[in-house]
Structure 1
Amino acid sequence: MGFLSMLGGAGGASSKIRQEPRLLAAAESSSPADSFQTGGPWAEVSLSGPSRAGVLVNERTTLSLPAVMQAVRILSGVFAMVPLHYCSHDNGGTHKLLDDPLYSLMNGRPNDAQSRYAFREILMSDILMTGNFYAYVSRDQFMRPVALTRLDPFAVQVYQSFDQATGQTMFYDATLPDGTSQRFPSRDIWAVTGMSRNGLQGLNPVAYMREAFGESIATAAYVQNYWRNNGQPPVTLTTDKKVDPDVRAAIKADWKTYVAGVHNAGEPVVLGQGLKADYMPVNNKDGQLVETRTMQVLDIARAWGVPPHLIFELSKATFGNIEQQSLEFVIYHLGPHFARVADSAAHAFAASGCLFSHDPSDLVKGGFLDRAQGVSSLRNAGVISTDEARNNFNLNPVADGTGQDRWQPVNMGIAGQPAPAQPPGA
């Protein structure tokens, strides 16, 4: 299928163009302020809105939950800290291509508006909150990428075409930051897909887990309403006398004006006409309100794969293996995100024989004593030099240059060869 026919939306006899179904979590409300993301002309289907708990679930209301905010913040923030190296890989090993423009693009200035950290943070935040990240790729006259501009995930619609001879081809209907909308081939849009069921679009966590988030939002609303009423349970005013409807309405209005509410807490109540106030029992302890909120925090931790102690759910924390837990966080929770972004960048930009690779070594250094023993072992075994060992602790190289020498253990030799002769007096 030719390029012009692809942009025109028409395929050949052996190709078919299909629009991928959207699964959004934009706000279904009358005010654009109800959502941090504003959809473009390509946004079609939304699965957000009221949950079975009767509350609106969208990005804004979900992020209002402290556990959600912390989960997104810890994952996106730590992800943004880790450098993304552009490397060549051959029989001699892996070598960082520090002078390559792609290295500067990923580790220097992705664009004129955002720092490296800010760009990576919004990249991961988009994946966590919407399931997809999209960036427009600006290129120079030699078609080399020179800038990456983040696009609103809800303003990008994914299309695919399939040709039996050439395979699958992706292109995107996108609204750019200047408000213009256009169809772009895949070389102009860098797409990073979260967990997916079709490999083309990521699943939207807010939409798919709307009911779980709705429970947490509804519980938070209940607590807010309870304290707004000064922690007072519902009350019933009863009397043995006959009370006309207009009088009942007046008594109810007076009670709400002079007694109910936070500002009237502690006010004396004078009841006439034989009225008695009966408070309806509300026992949050028997209702296990605290336990319910704890379980909801654990559900949020499961939703994004964050260890509970990192979102400050410490009810079962022992702190006896915090270093091991931190290592598991890097391997099992951040590791898939590292691989997802690095492979997507390599697929979109890397030359043949090159790849992108995250370096999370700063996250797994451990305590000072463990680091010192490990670095010392590597230096004594001749794996690293003294200068390289000093670099692990941000120390300058040895001034006279002797720190570049690597040590060689005298009691070791090459496997299968005779041991070297010992010098006299050894």
Structure 2
Amino acid sequence: MGLLDFLRGSGASVPSRARQERVLTSSLPVGAAAGSADSFQTGGTWTSFGIGSPSRSGVKVSERTTMALPAVMQALRILTGVFAMVPMHYVRRDGKGIHRLEEDPLYKLMNERPNDVQSQYDFREILLGDILMTGNFYAYVSRDALMRPSVLTRLDPLGVQDLQSFDRQTGQQMFYDATLPDGSSGRFASRDIWHVRGMSRNGLQGLNPISFMKEAFGESIATAAYVQSYWRNNAQPPVILTSDKKIDGDVRQQIKDDWKNRFSGVDNAGEPAVLGNGLKADYMRVSNKDGQLVETRTMQVLDIARAWGVPPHLLFELSKATFGNIEQQSLEFVIYHLGPHFSRVSSKAAHAFAASGCTFIHDPSDLVKGGFLDRAQGIAALRNGGVMSTDEGRAEFNLNPVGGDAGGEIWRPINMGISGQPNPDPATGN
């Protein structure tokens, strides 16, 4: 076993003594089954494509059926897309402020090239998508010769099993049984797997939103299925065929099958019915208006908005929307809806990768810039107040710098000075 293998801590490099002494347990509560909706375990085979968990509405709820709902797709698109737009800077904090470490490999890893396949936008989009859909994001951490993180490879959340160990002196430690993209499997230490959890009840695994809100999603899926069935049958209400004559059971079944074949479905719309043997067709009165179908579907969109933490107007549910202050609504979206995701990812990145005195921070300033006039007035106030230079103000509008002293000078208003010192003479500067 080589030194680098030992430092990487792969499953094959763990000393046998450590394996014998360390007791690994699943992060599931005792007695809980994998994939159980009552446990804190996320994932499970039921959430994969083509497999669903039945809800009380009678439909199966899976990732595929859930994403077929337009409101869910839009919620994921707006959250993951906007999240991916925001840069995550690697910075050092000291007594003089915050300094971006743009030449550090960690900065480039998070903001330029996480791996050879995905751009930073793709990587961040799927990062938050995994958290929203399964509760957990996993990435395998490849390291360079100096043991610095160099590549992050996303792992299938359903192919990773969390394990924990506890020592009275060192506390909890996490291990992961994971299947890598090349098909190999192994047990990896936490330094080899970057795990970002969603909302959690045990601090070890994130809660699976689809599993825990299965009934709410099932209602929406069942309603959509009803509407599809209604239109597939040419919006025809159920019919009852009656007759004064006695009809044997076999004949009744034959009449029923013949009616369905002739008059059910869109292709048979408008076909005239010719009835014999005293048969009469009575249509059952079905009113979607009385059943408040439109109101039901509206409330289901609101439920989805609550489930993902998205303002309803961003899901195009505008029935009660007001347009008094779009800037304030955008600010609330950044603070209350995206803010927790920013903090969750940046704090986990700092916990896993950052050096002492350094951290990761998101910069969502582009999301709250407001209108052009408001931005121009704000930058002018900062420029005149001596907070920023001309070139820094021009950069806010993506304009080329002026350069030289004219672009880099910081103004100080003539009627202001340093506390306790006399103002300089404007003529001499002394």
Could you tell me how far apart the structure 2 residues matched to 1:339 and 1:366 are? Answer: 23
Pairing partner for 1:10 from 20, 34, 55: 20
Q: Say yes or no: does 1:166 pair with 2:182.
A: no
The residue identity in structure 1 corresponding to 2:240 is T
Could you tell me how far apart the structure 2 residues matched to 1:8 and 1:206 are? Answer: 38
Q: Which moved more, 1:157-166 or 1:409-418?
A: 409-418
Q: Which runs of 5+ in 1 are unaligned?
A: 36-47
Could you tell me how far apart the structure 2 residues matched to 1:420 and 1:398 are? Answer: 27
Could you tell me how far apart the structure 1 residues matched to 2:339 and 2:49 are? Answer: 34
Pairing partner for 1:120 from 124, 134, 138: 124
Could you tell me how far apart the structure 1 residues matched to 2:312 and 2:90 are? Answer: 33
The residue identity in structure 2 corresponding to 1:128 is L
Aligned to 2:239: 235
User: Cα gap change, 1:316/1:6 in structure 2, threshold over 3 Å: closer, same or farther?
Assistant: farther
Aligned to 1:265: 269
> What SS is found at the alignment partner of 1:133?
strand
Count of residue pairs the alignment pairs up: 406
RMSD: 1.9
How far is the alpha carbon of 1:24 from its aligned partner? 3.7
Could you tell me how far apart the structure 1 residues matched to 2:335 and 2:90 are? Answer: 21
Aligned to 1:132: 136
User: Cα gap change, 1:306/1:9 in structure 2, threshold over 3 Å: closer, same or farther?
Assistant: farther
How far is the alpha carbon of 1:145 from its aligned partner? 0.7
The residue identity in structure 2 corresponding to 1:197 is R
Could you tell me how far apart the structure 2 residues matched to 1:293 and 1:333 are? Answer: 23
Q: Say yes or no: does 1:199 pair with 2:224.
A: no
Contact 2:49 2:62 in 1 (8 A): no
Aligned to 2:315: 311
How far is the alpha carbon of 1:418 from its aligned partner? 3.7
TM-score of the two chains, using structure 2 as the length reference? 0.91
The residue identity in structure 1 corresponding to 2:50 is D
> What SS is found at the alignment partner of 2:89?
strand
Q: Which moved more, 1:224-233 or 1:257-266?
A: 257-266
What per-residue deviation string (whole Å, max 9, x for no partner) do you get for residues 22-44 of structure 1?
53455549xx7516xxxxxxxxx
Pairing partner for 2:332 from 320, 328, 331: 328
Contact 2:178 2:186 in 1 (8 A): yes
How far is the alpha carbon of 1:146 from its aligned partner? 0.6
User: Cα gap change, 1:336/1:60 in structure 2, threshold over 3 Å: closer, same or farther?
Assistant: same
Contact 2:42 2:205 in 1 (8 A): no
Q: Say yes or no: does 1:75 pair with 2:85.
A: no
Q: Say yes or no: does 1:34 pair with 2:50.
A: yes
Aligned to 1:298: 302
> What SS is found at the alignment partner of 1:273?
coil
How far is the alpha carbon of 1:253 from its aligned partner? 2.2
Q: Say yes or no: does 1:63 pair with 2:79.
A: no
> What SS is found at the alignment partner of 1:104?
helix
Could you tell me how far apart the structure 1 residues matched to 2:19 and 2:82 are? Answer: 41
Q: Which runs of 5+ in 2 are unaligned?
A: 1-8, 29-33, 35-40
> What SS is found at the alignment partner of 2:296?
helix
The residue identity in structure 1 corresponding to 2:116 is D
Superposition pairs for residues 10-409 of structure 1, below 5 Å?
10-11=20-21, 16-21=23-28, 22=34, 23-26=41-44, 28=46, 33-34=49-50, 49-398=53-402, 401-409=405-413
Could you tell me how far apart the structure 1 residues matched to 2:153 and 2:405 are? Answer: 44
Could you tell me how far apart the structure 1 residues matched to 2:107 and 2:241 are? Answer: 74
How far is the alpha carbon of 1:400 from its aligned partner? 5.3
